[in-house]
Amino acid sequence: MQQLNISSNTLNRSQRRRSEKNIQRLSTKGSPREKLSLTTLRTLQNKIESYGNTLSDEHKQALLEVTDLYSRIVFKEVSGRFVVALDCGLGKTLSVVALASAIHQLGLDSKSIMICQSKISELCLMVDALLEAGVPPQKIGLVHSYTYAPSSPILDGEVINMDGSVRKGYAAKPSNAKEDSTQFQFLLVSHSKVKGKREIVKHTQFKGKPRTLTIWDESFISTEATSIGLRDLKTAIQEFENTQFNNPEVDHYISWLKRSYDLLIKEENAQKQGTPVSVLTLPYLSDIEATKFEGLSKYNQKDKRYEWRQMLRDLLKMSSDPVRVSLAGGEAVLQFNDSISKELTNLVVLDASYRIRELVKVDPTLTEPKFFVHRHNLKSYEDVVLHRMNYYGSRLSAENSVKSPKIAKEIALVIKEIPLNEAVCLFTFKWTDKRKLHHAQVIKDALESEGINLSSQVTLRDGSVKPRFIFKTWGQETGSNNASYCSHLFMAGVLRQQENSFLAQLVGQSQDILRDIDQSLLNQAMVSEFAHLVYQAGLRSQARIVSKGKALPAHLYLVLDEPRIEEPLREIMRGLQVVEWIPQDTSLMKREAIEGIAKVIRDGFTQLNLGSLTQISVRAFKQTYGLTEMPEKTFQVSRDQVLKTNLGWILPAGSRSFKKVFQDET
């Protein structure tokens, strides 16, 4: 089948009509592969348009190329691991439903698909979507380990309690393929279920033959990486030795730990002297010894020493495979293993973040199809505004009992000004320490203190009624679209990994244990990880919905002290507006920010000194020098700082105007 093209960039109106007629003809009279591709396309377009979306020619071209990729793999014309990097909301996940429906419609009973998603709730929603698309239930297999809850209320694929919270460990659909998944033409599994050789063999077969196609929804992380900071490891070994008085049983274990540590330190010192990185093997341990030593390292998770003991257990696991020492990200020992077998081919990864996320781009087994001709950034975000507060946005900051309430109040002050008929989604951190007030609760308390009703609802255009507020935690930035009616979304910080841990992942994804990643490249990759999370979280809002090629208007609010994130976000979100979110509380402004505002005020007074003006209202001053959007407290702090420098202007008590004075008056 020749490459079909319906893009307005290359075809005039007459040519597009002929192309569309050709598509219609091939969908009924073409080869089996052409019929599959175009039947899938027609089903997909109809579904997207049923939601009220108007598809541009470029959007149609992109969807045609996606369905063409599916059909090429299904009919064994191409093989490999491919990435489809369409924007959120353009129909990637719906294309999977359309493909399964088309395979069923065309009677291609020997063709089978495995669909992998990150959450059980997403898989349950996929079952519903397949059934709605006409796929018979006996062809759909679902694998999970959750308890089926047939009589419990369901919301967006999640089983919920009476108070509206998610009922953990329960699923909205039964697992009907757990014992024998090979009999189902369309198999739905979570990402974790295809990790490990046993699981690959178990689920990638359909009636004794390899499945035709695997579709992986969201980013494809194919390795499991481990890292241990060398300074922390030294502390962990010392702590363990100090607690083992008169216990000869552990002498051999402690000796092994010290010999391993000495080997790693020797390599670290060699690298600092300019020696190339080496692949190391830790001192030999038998399986019996490794099992015994692992038991000696166990500790109660609630004890502060648990993390140190876990490092020792991680080091034991490293004893069976090569390791390396890295100086970037803080000195650490790294190791990785394949968590997903390289035998898993004929794979399509649906990942909107791919082009900006270094962690997945570094994987040499993934590639974008060479025959894709549609341009990137099909979707315009010109009506989406990102408000970024340049303040600490880590989980550590969110756990701080002083900083967290201040940020929560800033969020509440913004929400207080949002019209009551506009919905709000908020992303917060979660932590396991039950003694601490949950991050979401800190923000809820601030909202309620400003008189905001958290139980209020909004009525949508279709007449449906939804909660005005939706709270999510990091880890829920992909998958569920239950907040897609929210026109405002807040991120009170962004989840981040430790440098050592992220570096290990990055090296692992590269499939090269000696991959040279210096501190600069590591920093760049970590910024891209922030951008990926912010992009995915932001697209839980109504900005994910596309109308005539544009994302619906939305305001995204971000607390993060990382300005470099703006470049990759602008790259992937064409037309995105980025503005500074200036807090009312000046203690949340970094000193350089206050100084920047003070400089604008200082330059303004200097310019006024060149003229004959002797008085100017505060209001006129702000308008003249672009300070009208400045929070009053921030302006006052910066203003007072400047007035103390005796530039020849004062603000008399109770006055609303600056007055020019002679030097001796000041």
Nearest CA-CA partner of 532 in 219, 319, 287: 219
Give the number of other CB atoms < 10 A from CB of residue 612: 6
92 or 156: which leads in pLDDT:
92
pLDDT digits (tens, 9 = 90+) for 269-320: 999 999 999 999 999 988 888 888 888 877 766 666 778 888 999 999 898 8
Q: Are residues 555 and 643 in the same domain?
A: no
366: CB partners within 8 A, 6+ apart: 81, 82, 83, 220, 349, 354, 360
Cα separation, 56 vs 547, in Å, equals 9
Q: Are residues 422 and 279 in the same domain?
A: no
Give the number of other CB atoms < 10 A from CB of residue 239: 15
CB 411 within 8 A of CB 443: yes
Residue 619 lies in a domain: yes
Cα separation, 457 vs 444, in Å, equals 16
Print the SS3 string covering 504-541. Answer: HHHHHHCCCCCCCCCHHHHHHHHHHHHHHHHHHHHCCC
Q: Among 546, 581, 616, where does a domain finish?
A: 581
Residue 113: CA count within 13 A, CB half-sphere: 29
Nearest CA-CA partner of 424 in 567, 317, 557: 557
Ramachandran category for residue 52: left, alpha or beta (phi over 0 → left; psi -120 to 50 → alpha):
left
pLDDT digits (tens, 9 = 90+) for 594-628: 888 899 999 999 999 998 899 999 999 999 999 98
Q: Are residues 577 and 600 in the same domain?
A: no
Cα separation, 110 vs 182, in Å, equals 12
Structural domain count of the chain: 3
Above 60 in pLDDT, residue 12? no
Q: Are residues 594 and 660 in the same domain?
A: yes
Q: Are residues 433 and 485 in the same domain?
A: yes
With residue 115 as reference, give the H or E element that holds it. Answer: strand 113-117
Mean pLDDT score, 450-477: 94
Residue 427 lies in a domain: yes
Q: Are residues 565 and 610 in the same domain?
A: no
pLDDT band at 548 (very low <50, low <70, confident <90, very high): confident
Mean pLDDT score, 419-429: 97
Residue 342 lies in a domain: no
pLDDT band at 26 (very low <50, low <70, confident <90, very high): low
Cα separation, 214 vs 235, in Å, equals 45
Bridge pairing between strands 332-338 and 223-229: antiparallel
Residue 479 lies in a domain: yes
Q: Are residues 571 and 439 in the same domain?
A: yes
pLDDT digits (tens, 9 = 90+) for 363-373: 999 999 887 77
Residue 637 lies in a domain: yes
602: CB partners within 8 A, 6+ apart: 642, 645, 647
Q: Are residues 467 and 602 in the same domain?
A: no
Above 50 in pLDDT, residue 55? yes
What is the residue-averaged pLDDT of the chain?
88
CB 527 within 8 A of CB 562: yes
Residue 531, judged by CB atoms within 10 A of its CB (0-12, 13-18, 19+), counts as buried
Cα separation, 29 vs 504, in Å, equals 52
Give the number of other CB atoms < 10 A from CB of residue 392: 17
Please report, for residues 81, 294, 303, 316, 326, the alpha-carbon distance to residue 311 in angstroms, rounded to integers and kept in the order given: 34, 11, 14, 9, 17
In this structure, what CATH number is given to the domain that contains residue 605? 1.10.10
Q: What is the span of the domain harbouring residue 297?
A: 226-336
Q: Are residues 298 and 435 in the same domain?
A: no
pLDDT digits (tens, 9 = 90+) for 101-137: 999 999 999 999 999 998 999 999 999 999 999 999 9
Secondary structure (3-state) at 356: coil
Q: Where are the beta strands (DSSP E) in 460-606?
A: 465-467, 469-473, 488-491, 546-547, 550-551, 554-559, 577-580
What pLDDT shows up at residue 340?
Answer: 83
Q: Among 557, 581, 605, where does a domain finish?
A: 581
Residue 49 lies in a domain: no
What pLDDT shows up at residue 23?
Answer: 60
Phi, psi of 386 (to 5 degrees): -100, 120
- CA torsion, points 455, 395, 438, 120, in degrees to nearest 10? 70
Q: Are residues 470 and 617 in the same domain?
A: no
Q: What are 497's two structure tokens?
A: 């990994």
Q: Are residues 507 and 613 in the same domain?
A: no
pLDDT digits (tens, 9 = 90+) for 378-395: 899 999 999 999 999 999
Please report, for residues 606, 610, 650, 660, the alpha-carbon distance to residue 663 in angstroms, rounded to integers and kept in the order given: 14, 15, 11, 9
CB 536 within 8 A of CB 217: no
In this structure, what CATH number is given to the domain that contains residue 487? 3.40.50
Residue 115, strand partner residues: 188, 215
Secondary structure (3-state) at 216: strand
Secondary structure (3-state) at 378: coil
Q: Are residues 472 and 510 in the same domain?
A: yes
Cα separation, 642 vs 374, in Å, equals 54
| pTM summary value | 0.84
Residue 231 lies in a domain: yes
Residue 214, strand partner residues: 114, 347
Q: Which amino acid is at 214?
A: T
What pLDDT shows up at residue 471?
Answer: 94
pLDDT digits (tens, 9 = 90+) for 181-192: 999 999 999 888
Question: What are the helix (H) ranges across 169-281?
Answer: 197-203, 230-242, 251-272
Nearest CA-CA partner of 201 in 398, 12, 343, 58: 343
What pLDDT shows up at residue 21?
Answer: 58
Cα separation, 58 vs 167, in Å, equals 42
Q: Among 565, 581, 597, where does a domain finish?
A: 581
Cα separation, 627 vs 602, in Å, equals 13
Residue 353 lies in a domain: no
pLDDT digits (tens, 9 = 90+) for 220-230: 998 889 999 99
419: CB partners within 8 A, 6+ apart: none
Ramachandran category for residue 491: left, alpha or beta (phi over 0 → left; psi -120 to 50 → alpha):
beta
